[in-house]
């Protein structure tokens, strides 16, 4: 009697598990990052950096925010080493735990009034821990998605971890909005009530513990991809992946760093800088407030903003971020169809043009409704471009490297770019904003300049759409590198 044909072998990680593991982790990581970014604008300049000058306090807060970017390449090297040596799963669990614990402790920190400048130092240490964790998180999640993707759908699967950015933003700012609405505002719907400054800001940080538990439960169910298992079986795993990357893959390492640059600058301008600029009082409002308080006011030195309330502006940002998520998803199938390089060249060119339009969209007009409409259009357009450039990165950077150094290579490119782009962007933007007398046009020129650098890197790179993960595993038996 003939035996029945064997049933097809199920994939090691079903699609639902791949999507959940790559999406939930980056959502939590970006949630933690956004919570800090929001607090860096609204809370930390007052509670941790009371310098007496608003601009100086904001710059101090952004400096600590940017310090995390310095720790990210270190995290990329450490987590990348273990991810390429021993597998993606344990590394992803470790990065998620590190981020979650650091964020939770920030919610418990005493402020400057309680322990002086020790508060700022502890905040810096925990911020560095956040950056260290994020240095290993993104690449691991991108590898889980792309190494388990069906043939011809790598860019689409690579958008799953990228969706963590818009979803994390919406959850983080949604939590802040709920807290703001729930707390009493005896002086009117101000963006920072006494209760918010006293304890309300801590809730989003403490809430991250719940999200981390969910993320760990999902990730512990993962098994290693067939691609990594093949690299292990063929002896391609290296003892020192960093040495292999620097020695044999330095060119894609540099190109990947600059390919990501414009994305990072746009990302942090659309989130951190626009929140600062959008909620800063206009010159007229600031003058009226100073006169009402009987204080002197110098319009020549005042750095003005658009004067939106915090709640109103965050809602406008959330509307924009919805388009961020939509265009992130749309970019994946498009990149699978026409190629990553061609798509990114067109999108980066559009970002360069967008940077020259800041003084069209982001200036206060006589009609507040017209100002609001233009600002909302700016946020929607900027976040659409953000989704279109960020989505393909989940596939592009991993495809630049073979399996045995893919975690290390993509992580270093992604996170060194964070220093050049994300760490400097908020600080440079505030300085340029002040240098232009409260106008944003120099900030836009800065974005355009960074986009030109990314365009050069893209023109020097090759298309990675048809890279075969089955054969591009890295050559040589386990060596002493």
Instruction: Tell me the two tokens of residue 124.
Output: 């810096």
Q: What is the pLDDT of residue 241?
A: 82
In SS3 terms, the chain reads as CCCCCCCCCCCCCCHHHHHHHHHHHHHHHHHHHHHHHHHHHHCHHHHCCCCCCHHHHHHHHHHHHHHHHHHHHHHHHHHHHHHHHHCHHHHHHHHHHHHHHHHHHHCCCCCHHHHCCHHHHHHHHHHHHHHHHHHHHHHHHHHHHHHCCCCCCHHHHHHHHHCHHHHHHHHHHHHHHHHHHHCCCCCCCCCCCHHHHHHHCHHHHHHHHHHHHHHHHHHCCCCCCHHHHHHHHCCCCCCCHHHHHHHHCHHHHHHHHHHCHHHHHHHHHHHHHHHHHHHCCCHHHHHHHHHHCCCCCCCCCCCCCCCCCHHHHHHHHHHHHHHHHHHHHHHHHHHHHHCHHHHHHHHHHHHHHHHCCHHHHCCCCCCHHHHHHHHHHHHHHHHHHHHHHHCCHHHHHHHCCCHHHHHHHHHHHHHHHHHHHHHCHHHHHHHHHHHCCCCCHHHHHHHHHHHHHHHHHHHHCCCCCCCCCCCCCCCCCCCCC
Q: What is the pLDDT of residue 52?
A: 64
Q: What is the pLDDT of residue 191?
A: 47
C-alpha 435/C-alpha 378 separation (Å) is 22
pLDDT in tens for each of the 481 residues of the chain?
444 444 444 456 677 778 888 888 788 877 877 787 778 777 888 888 876 666 677 777 777 777 777 788 898 889 888 888 877 778 888 888 888 888 899 889 998 888 888 888 898 888 888 888 888 888 888 888 888 888 889 999 999 999 988 998 888 888 888 887 787 655 444 445 677 778 888 888 888 888 788 888 887 777 776 777 777 777 667 778 888 888 989 999 999 999 999 999 998 899 888 988 898 888 888 888 778 877 888 777 788 888 888 788 989 999 999 999 999 999 999 999 999 999 999 999 999 999 999 999 988 888 889 999 999 999 999 999 999 999 999 999 999 999 888 989 999 999 889 888 877 787 788 889 888 888 899 999 999 999 999 999 999 999 999 888 877 776 654 443 3
pTM of the model: 0.83
Q: What is the pLDDT of residue 12?
A: 61
Check: CB of residue 13 under 8 Å from CB of residue 121. no
Q: What is the pLDDT of residue 17?
A: 77
């Amino acid at each position: 009697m003939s035996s029945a044909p064997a049933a097809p072998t199920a994939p090691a990680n079903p699609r639902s598990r791949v999507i959940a593991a790559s999406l939930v982790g980056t959502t939590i990581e970006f949630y933690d990052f956004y919570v800090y970014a929001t607090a860096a604008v609204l809370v930390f300049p007052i509670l941790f950096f009371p310098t007496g000058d608003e601009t100086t306090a904001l710059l101090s807060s952004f400096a600590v925010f940017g310090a995390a970017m310095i720790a990210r390449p270190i995290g990329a090297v450490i987590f990348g080493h273990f991810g390429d040596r021993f597998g993606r799963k344990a590394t992803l669990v470790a990065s998620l735990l590190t981020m979650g614990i650091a964020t939770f402790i920030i919610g418990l920190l005493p402020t400057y009034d309680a322990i002086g400048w020790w508060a700022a130092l502890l905040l810096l240490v925990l911020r560095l821990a956040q950056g260290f964790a994020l240095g290993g998180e993104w690449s691991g999640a991108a590898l889980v998605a792309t190494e388990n993707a069906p043939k011809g759908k790598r860019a689409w699967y690579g958008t799953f971890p990228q969706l963590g950015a818009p979803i994390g933003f919406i959850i983080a700012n949604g939590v802040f909005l709920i807290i703001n609405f729930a707390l009493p505002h005896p002086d009117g719907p101000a963006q920072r009530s006494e209760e918010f400054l006293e304890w309300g800001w801590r809730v989003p940080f403490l809430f991250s513990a719940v999200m981390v538990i969910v993320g760990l439960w999902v990730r512990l169910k993962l098994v290693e991809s067939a691609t990594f298992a093949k690299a292990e079986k063929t002896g391609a795993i290296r003892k020192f992946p960093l040495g292999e990357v620097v020695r044999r893959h330095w060119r894609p390492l540099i190109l990947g760093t600059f390919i990501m640059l414009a994305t990072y600058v746009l990302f942090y301008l659309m989130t951190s800088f626009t929140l600062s600029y959008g909620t800063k009082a206009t010159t007229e409002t600031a003058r009226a407030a100073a006169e009402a308080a009987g204080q002197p006011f110098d319009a020549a030195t005042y750095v003005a903003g658009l004067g939106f309330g915090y709640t109103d502006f965050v809602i406008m940002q959330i509307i924009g971020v919805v388009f961020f998520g939509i265009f992130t998803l749309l970019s994946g199938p498009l990149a699978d169809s026409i190629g990553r390089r061609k798509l990114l060249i067109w999108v980066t060119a559009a970002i360069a043009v967008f940077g020259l339009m800041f003084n069209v969209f982001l200036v206060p007009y006589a009609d507040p409704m017209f100002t609001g409409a233009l600002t909302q259009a700016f946020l929607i357009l900027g976040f659409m471009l953000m989704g279109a450039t960020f989505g393909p990165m989940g596939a592009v950077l991993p495809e630049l490297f073979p399996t045995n150094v893919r975690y290390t290579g993509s992580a270093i490119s992604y996170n060194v770019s964070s220093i050049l782009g994300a760490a400097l962007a908020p600080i440079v933007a505030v300085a340029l904003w002040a240098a232009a007398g409260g106008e944003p046009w120099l900030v836009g020129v800065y974005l355009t300049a960074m986009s030109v650098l990314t365009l050069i890197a893209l023109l020097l790179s090759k298309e990675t759409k048809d890279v075969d993960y089955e054969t591009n595993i890295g050559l040589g038996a386990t060596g002493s590198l």
